[in-house]
Amino acid sequence: MTIQKNENEIIEFLTKRGLYTRIPIEYTFESDSIHFPKIDIFCQKCNKRSTFVLDEEQCFIDKMKVLFRAKRSGMRVFKPNHSGLVGLERELPQINPLNNNSILAIKMKCARNYDHLIFFIFLVIDGYLIKIGQHPSIEDIQSPIDSKTVKIITEKNYSELRRARGLFAHGIGIGSFVYLRRIIEDLITETTKIAIVENTISKEDIEGKRWYEQIKLLKGYLPDIMVDNPIVYSVLSKGIHELTENECLQYFPTIRELIELIFAEKVAMEEKEHRIKEISHKMSAINSKIKVSK
């Protein structure tokens, strides 16, 4: 049994979409075993990314309801397994286990250790599968914020990034965009100050400029990936003012990944700068000893 033909869509739904988001059901019943694709998520117990596969024996589709109907119609109740439908389906072929208002619960296990589990609960309403429960949360199955990023990011931005991820995990899209936009604003403002001190740009260059243009002006100061994607600020603003909760939730993972890549590049830039300074210092030390002619 397949819930959704598009595997990528269901993988994204499981791994990146918060609670109360939905996907349309494209139900097909090619066999009595339920099918969910493997997912690649951060396993807190392995403390690294791992593949999780469906534990078919532990799936539940309104088992009570289906068994009750079977009993009432005088049929033999089969030992319930993954879906409670074995045998039943043969005798009641019209039963669609994903009736309106039915509940589907699944358990997936880490390929490295079957005791590492993730649970999802869905509700079926009007042809949609709505995610109503998940443990560990969306936030917990994302790779944690990189430790190098934690070192360079300000305390304020770190807490904003965590808050944005947490809101997203609870199905709050617009609110999570507010925090991401503040991070981008701070990054631009702080970088502008440095560029002004170094006389690369003047206050007048920046004044009255849109954020999009400011990002482009800071080429060489801001990470390249940010300069290459100057619309990031505009997308976040549009999310806050015009987009729906669902649209923000849909776009959040991409923007979050972009912001985390911006910080990763900033870390690399700072490391490179540090190494350049260090090597220049060592070269001067060598020169002061051996005094080469230029």
Binding residues (CB under 5 A) for Zn ion: these are: 43, 45-46, 50, 110, 112-113, 116
23/110 with CB nearer Zn ion: 110
CB of 39 to Zn ion, least distance (A): 12
92/111 with CB nearer Zn ion: 111
Q: What is the DSSP letter of 57?
A: G
CB of 133 to Zn ion, least distance (A): 20
48/90 with CB nearer Zn ion: 48
CB of 55 to Zn ion, least distance (A): 14
Residue 100, both tokens = 């309106």
Query: Going by C-beta distance under 8 Å and a sequence separation of 6 or more, which residues neighbour residue 283?
Result: none
CB 163 within 8 A of CB 239: no
CB of 52 to Zn ion, least distance (A): 8
3-state secondary structure of 41: strand
Residue 42, both tokens = 């951060």
CB of 141 to Zn ion, least distance (A): 11
CB of 41 to Zn ion, least distance (A): 9
Where do the H-state alpha helices sit in 84-172? 88-91, 138-141, 147-152, 155-169
112/148 with CB nearer Zn ion: 112
Phi, psi of 122 (to 5 degrees): -125, 155
What H or E segment, with its residue span, contains residue 48? strand 48-54
CB 41 within 8 A of CB 64: no
The torsion angle over the Cα atoms of residues 197, 202, 206 and 208, rounded to 10 degrees, is 130
110/172 with CB nearer Zn ion: 110
46/283 with CB nearer Zn ion: 46
Query: Going by C-beta distance under 8 Å and a sequence separation of 6 or more, which residues neighbour residue 167?
Result: 175, 176, 179
